[in-house]
Amino acid sequence: MSKPKIAVIFYSTYGTNHAIAEAAAKAAGEAGAEVRLLRIAETAPESVVNGQDAWKAQAEKMASIPLATPDDMVWADGYFISCPTRYGVSASQLRAFIDTLGPVWQKGGLSNKAFTATTSAQNAHGGQEATLLSLYTTAMHWGAIIVAPGYTDPSIFEAGGNPYGYSANAGGFDEKGRAAVAHQARRLVDMAKKLSA
């Protein structure tokens, strides 16, 4: 049986979702998947990014990571998405990428693929659950199969108890979070394997 192919796709301004994505990619690889770690292109003006030292440093840190493309979406059997919340929905950079996927989606190229998501916000009630639910709504339009972590492992409770997907406070990705993300990634690999068999 071939390895399930997992695209771990993230957008990160200051580093939290980059760290989450790296942890997910590692866990998915250890679970037997072929993994592509991919970043979402920055759409904010360069002058804005360069005007904040932390944002500029993060952009430089992840510059060598390949950009996600529609071809990556076709290639993958499953998607692990990580991005910050902005006003209760995912960051506009990720939405801009999703808006390029119409031709692939219209041909059924995103259907029957496993889909899970994680997020972060400035605080625990900063729109995290709404962001995950809005991403899952997008997945439903594609005909993708949502693989939420649910309450399927003690790590979910220990990391804050979000059954929709791991969510962090900005800058607060810790060992409990790593355990929850690893479980979520392994669950995605398992379901992607079943769907692609």
Quick one: residue 23, left, alpha or beta (phi over 0 = left, psi -120 to 50 = alpha)? alpha
The predicted structure's pLDDT at residue 126: 86
| Residue 117: band (very low, low, confident or very high) from pLDDT cuts 50, 70, 90 | very high
Alpha carbon distance 2, 5 (integer Å): 9
Alpha carbon distance 88, 129 (integer Å): 8
CB 8 within 8 A of CB 188: no
Percent of the chain with pLDDT over 70: 99
Phi, psi (degrees; rounded to nearest 5) at 119:
-155, 180
Alpha carbon distance 14, 170 (integer Å): 8
Alpha carbon distance 60, 191 (integer Å): 34
The predicted structure's pLDDT at residue 2: 83
The predicted structure's pLDDT at residue 154: 96
The predicted structure's pLDDT at residue 124: 81
Across 167-178, average pLDDT: 94
pLDDT in tens, 5-58: 999 999 999 999 999 999 999 999 999 999 999 999 999 999 999 999 999 999
DSSP 2-66: PPPEEEEEE--SSSHHHHHHHHHHHHHHHTT-EEEEEEPPP-S-HHHHHTSHHHHHHHHHTTTSP
The predicted structure's pLDDT at residue 192: 97
**So what CATH class is 5-196?**
alpha beta
| Residue 1: band (very low, low, confident or very high) from pLDDT cuts 50, 70, 90 | low
Percent of the chain with pLDDT over 90: 93
Mean per-residue pLDDT over the chain, rounded: 96
Which of helix, strand or coil describes residue 165? coil
Across 109-113, average pLDDT: 97
The predicted structure's pLDDT at residue 123: 86
